[in-house]
């Protein structure tokens, strides 16, 4: 099921309810109203790989060393 809804936090959102036979139904929410449902589910399934890649890149780039320590740095 694909439904447009209004979120107090995000405004207009796309709500998708997936009910696969033999599995527990689940919901996904997207702030993009035009995304295809298959793409939304695919992105959700890949989220752990994205998080892992961000952790690796943060370490390699030493992102904490690039942060400003005082307001004067801005």
Is the residue at 13 inside a domain?
yes
Number of domains in the chain: 1
pLDDT band at 14 (very low <50, low <70, confident <90, very high): very high
Is the residue at 71 inside a domain?
no
Is the residue at 22 inside a domain?
yes
Answer whether 18's CB lies under 8 Å from 10's CB: no
Is the residue at 34 inside a domain?
yes
Instruction: Look up the domain containing 31 and give its range.
Output: 2-65
Residue 7 has pLDDT above 80, yes or no: yes
Cα–Cα distance measured from residue 52 to residue 49, given in angstroms and rounded to the nearest whole number: 5
Is the residue at 17 inside a domain?
yes
Q: Which residues contact 13 (CB under 8 A, 6 or more apart)?
A: 4, 5, 6, 7, 29, 30, 31, 33
Reduced to 3 states, what is the DSSP secondary structure of residue 43? Answer: helix
pTM (two decimals): 0.57
Q: What is the mean pLDDT of residues 32-51?
A: 87
Cα–Cα distance measured from residue 28 to residue 18, given in angstroms and rounded to the nearest whole number: 8
Q: What is the mean pLDDT of residues 10-35?
A: 91
Residue 59 has pLDDT above 60, yes or no: yes
Is the residue at 74 inside a domain?
no
R_g of the chain computed on alpha carbons: 18
Instruction: Give percent of the chain with pLDDT exceeding 90.
Output: 26
């Amino acid at each position: 099921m694909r439904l447009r809804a209004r979120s107090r936090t995000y405004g207009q959102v796309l709500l998708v309810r997936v009910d696969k036979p033999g599995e527990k139904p689940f919901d996904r929410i997207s702030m993009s109203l035009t995304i295809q449902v298959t793409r939304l589910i695919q992105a959700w399934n890949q989220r752990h790989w994205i998080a892992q890649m961000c952790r690796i890149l943060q370490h390699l780039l030493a992102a904490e060393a690039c942060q400003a320590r005082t307001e004067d740095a801005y």
